[in-house]
Amino acid sequence: MIEGARSPGRASPRKPSPRRGETTFARALLTVALGALPLSLTRTACAQLGPDGSRIQTNDYAIDLFQGPVLASTRVMGLGGAYVAVGDFIEGNTQNAAAPAVRSAHALDYVDWDLGFGITFPSSLGGSDFFNTGKGRTTIPTTAEQSFVSLELAGNLQFGPWGIGAAVNTQQYALTRAEASGDRLQSQIVNLNVQLARSFLDGQLFVGLGVRTIGLSVLNTNAVTQAERTLFESVGGNVEVGTLWRPNGAAFRIGAAFRGPVESQVDTETTTAQVLFPGTPEELYLPNSVRLPWQISMGFAYQFGRLFNPRWYDPHSLIERTDRYVRWRQSDRERRRERLHANAERAGGDVPAAKAAIDAHLDLERAIDERSLEEAANVTRQRLRERYRDLGRFYVLVSTALHIDGPVGDAVGIESFLEREVNRSGQRTTFSPRLGIESEIIPNWVVLRGGTYLEPTRFESNPAGARIHGTGGADIKLGQWDVFGIWPDHYTWRLRGAVDAARDYFGWGLALGGWY
């Protein structure tokens, strides 16, 4: 995984008017958010599923895609998933729709970007009750050694008070067929989040609006011909909104997020059959839809030591006076050029030589002005760097969160779907309290974090019920490398790791990113 790759700090375009679009954006956000509320209260009609433990013999059911363990970035994992009120960097994209607009103290440019990538293989899932069904170790049917893979990709683009964020997670499962037909079925689940966020009130209030989309595809790949055919496809989406309050100079933040429920719709043009392998022991009834429950997240974070909420200064605003003066000088030069050219023409003589001398002199003035503007920008950036260094390094961050996930009617879990056996999921609203602590114990070298959270079970048949997770992680500073000129000069890298352990579960992750 690569996290925190940031822009190299090239010159940025001039910022737009700071108030432009605030009213329109806020009004649109409120309208869409309120429009999603009725969807969150809609219940699905009862499906004809048999009792738990029976064979799935109907298409009139859904898959509950509720995610119990914290499968997120290593920092979020290490903090026990308590991140909705922190919101920094791309780690916040999956936790709060307002996160893409949050500026860090070390951000020195009007335009900035951030990237992250992660992948999980079966080694982190095997031997676990991954879905917390209470049935023992997860037994995903397999036709190949790598029957499960999870891929995550996220990115942010920030320009002034605005931020655009995106995060995509793809999960792939192999499906069993006993017959030696050469066919290999794959179930692919894609979860896409796209967000637009903006800061208000001098960078103290952040509001974001986004869309999250899910899709389920079942593909048939023939091992002999390598031909791939889509047997089933279902796609759906809904809105998500988020907000973050971080008063400048204060030591706390408050965050909240709402995600509307998602129920996918079956694409009848690509779906070739509703039952795979009919009349065989491997008979598989495909679901009518894939569903994500509505979710409400809220949190509070407090930081001791280093200032938690330093004001972000727009570098363009800090050199605005110099920029205006340089632009006025340029306009004045053009007026002088016209006047001096006219005087040269009236004086006669070698007019082209006279005009060339005038142009050379004025061009020299322009070069001097541009140089002074560049120096002002460099001095400003240096002062902002010094301001960031003066904040100090030592801190202790305490973050809390509560995640509430709604019910999903007539649904089974992923494992139940793959096993062709009814095990109802998501019949009740579930709650997940979370707590995380982080500190830079060795200034400018080592960060440690730990956390805990309660993972509820979505299965009423689970006799063990919810389970408590303990998480931990660390950042270790490595060294400087510009990656053959691709990254900024003197870019400092860090190695980050995290672990997550609970009853019948263990997960871990590594990441490489920037040290700030």
Reading the chain (516 residues) residue by residue, the pLDDT tens digits are 545 455 444 444 444 444 444 555 545 444 444 444 444 433 333 447 888 889 998 988 988 989 899 988 889 999 999 999 999 888 899 999 999 999 988 888 888 888 877 766 555 555 678 889 887 766 554 434 445 566 788 899 999 899 999 999 887 766 545 455 555 667 778 889 999 999 999 999 999 999 999 888 877 766 555 566 777 788 889 999 999 999 999 999 999 999 999 988 766 666 666 787 788 777 888 888 888 999 999 999 999 999 999 998 888 888 888 888 888 989 999 999 999 999 888 888 888 888 899 889 999 999 998 998 888 888 888 888 888 888 888 999 999 999 999 999 889 988 888 788 899 999 999 999 999 999 999 999 999 999 999 999 999 989 889 999 999 999 999 999 988 888 878 889 999 999 999 998 888 888 888 888
Question: Domain for residue 49, yes or no?
Answer: no
Which ranges of 433-472 would DSSP assign to H, the alpha helix?
none
Instruction: Please tell me the distance from the alpha carbon of residue 444 to that of residue 352, in angstroms, as a whole number.
Output: 62
Q: How many domains does the chain have?
A: 2
- Give the max Cα distance, the chain: 105
Q: What's the one-letter identity of residue 40?
A: S
Integer Rg of the chain from CA = 28
C-alpha closest to that of 510 among 114, 74, 72, 155: 74
Q: Which two tokens stand for residue 435?
A: 């707590």
Helix (H) or strand (E) holding 355: helix 351-390
State in Å, rounded, how far the first CA of the chain is from the last one. 18
Helix (H) or strand (E) holding 187: strand 183-200
Instruction: Please tell me the distance from the alpha carbon of residue 271 to that of residue 416, in angstroms, as a whole number.
Output: 21
Domain that holds residue 18: 2-41+63-307+398-514
| pLDDT for position 376 | 87
Question: Domain for residue 403, yes or no?
Answer: yes
- Kind of pairing, strands 411-412 and 62-64? parallel
Question: Domain for residue 160, yes or no?
Answer: yes
Which strands form 411-412's sheet, in the order they lie side by side? 262-263, 289-292, 62-64, 411-412
Question: Domain for residue 50, yes or no?
Answer: no
Question: Domain for residue 53, yes or no?
Answer: no
| pLDDT for position 43 | 37
C-alpha closest to that of 474 among 505, 447, 499: 447
Question: Domain for residue 46, yes or no?
Answer: no
C-alpha closest to that of 148 among 71, 241, 87, 237: 71
C-alpha closest to that of 160 among 347, 14, 298: 14
Whether residue 103 is found in the same domain as residue 237: yes
Question: Domain for residue 47, yes or no?
Answer: no
Whether residue 146 is found in the same domain as residue 266: yes
What CATH code is carried by the domain that includes residue 503? Answer: 2.40.160
Whether residue 410 is found in the same domain as residue 363: no
C-alpha closest to that of 46 among 342, 288, 233, 237: 288
For every residue of 76-114, DSSP letters joined together read HHHTTT--TTT--TGGGTTT-TTGGGPPPTT--SSEEEE
Contacts (Cβ under 8 Å, ≥6 apart) of 383: none
From 354, 389, 424, the end of a domain falls on 389
CB-facing half-sphere around the CA of 485: CA atoms within 13 A: 0
Return the residue matching tokens 């893409």: 100
Whether residue 255 is found in the same domain as residue 353: no
Q: Which long-range contacts (CB under 8 A, 24 or more apart) does 385-391 make?
A: 385/106, 385/108, 387/310, 388/105, 388/106, 388/310, 391/105, 391/306, 391/307, 391/310
CB-facing half-sphere around the CA of 152: CA atoms within 13 A: 23
Whether residue 92 is found in the same domain as residue 142: yes
Please count the other Cβ atoms lying within 10 Å of the Cβ belonging to residue 105: 19
Whether residue 22 is found in the same domain as residue 159: yes
Whether residue 366 is found in the same domain as residue 421: no
From 357, 389, 421, the end of a domain falls on 389
From 352, 368, 389, the end of a domain falls on 389
Whether residue 251 is found in the same domain as residue 379: no
Whether residue 176 is found in the same domain as residue 300: yes
Whether residue 450 is found in the same domain as residue 477: yes
β-bridge mates for residue 168, sequence order: 153, 192
Instruction: Please tell me the distance from the alpha carbon of residue 384 to that of residue 78, in angstroms, as a whole number.
Output: 30
Question: Domain for residue 426, yes or no?
Answer: yes
Whether residue 330 is found in the same domain as residue 195: no
Whether residue 341 is found in the same domain as residue 297: no
| pLDDT for position 151 | 76
| Sign (positive or negative) of CA dihedral 180, 221, 215, 68 | positive
| pLDDT for position 173 | 67
Indicate the pTM of the whole model. 0.80
Q: How does 10-43 read in b/e, with b if 16+ C-beta sit within 10 Å?
A: eebeebeeeeeeeeebeeebeebbeebeeebeee
